[in-house]
Amino acid sequence: MRFLYMQPDGEEFDPDLFMKADKAYQDYIQSVKASLPPEVYKFLQESWYIADEGRGEWHLHDMKFQEMLVVEHRLGGDGKIVSDVMLRLGNRNFNEATLRITYHNVQEYSIILKRGPNVEGEGKTHGNVDTHELILSASGRIIHEIEFHYAHLCIECADLTYIKEIIEP
């Protein structure tokens, strides 16, 4: 991650470093605004994307990994095959709300599960979103990195769309 504050394991949270990193990221977003697809900029401006207010079902931090689906299809009449990746995140209780992000025309993606001596307990999966950032690559593509508690996801794509869904009881 290029901008966002990552709290080192075993160290106390440093609010000054966090605020400095957040300001640098917000300044970066404003500097690349004109190069971002409209839906991506809208995504970045959602109150739940970065804001710490409310920390309810729509705050991206603490949402949980639910599903990831890769779909290959032909793009237009030229027969070019492209991949889209759909990521679904659920609120903390998996029962009230989901956020579905679809990354279009994916160039590259990776997901790495963290296993090893620092991961306690059996059966640990991806876990909550700890932090995330969305930047532009040198070639102008979107790179979205999400650091889950037990996994790291990175997707490079041309565009994204998203849907917030409320699940009725």
Hey, where are the domains in the chain?
15-166
Reported pTM:
0.83
Helices (H), the chain: 15-32, 38-45, 47-50
For the residues of 2-37, what is the DSSP string, one character each? -SS--PPTTSPP-HHHHHHHHHHHHHHHHHHGGGS-
Residue 97 has pLDDT above 60, yes or no: yes
State the pLDDT confidence band at 38, using cuts at 50, 70 and 90.
very high
Residue 102 has pLDDT above 80, yes or no: yes
The pLDDT value given to residue 71: 94
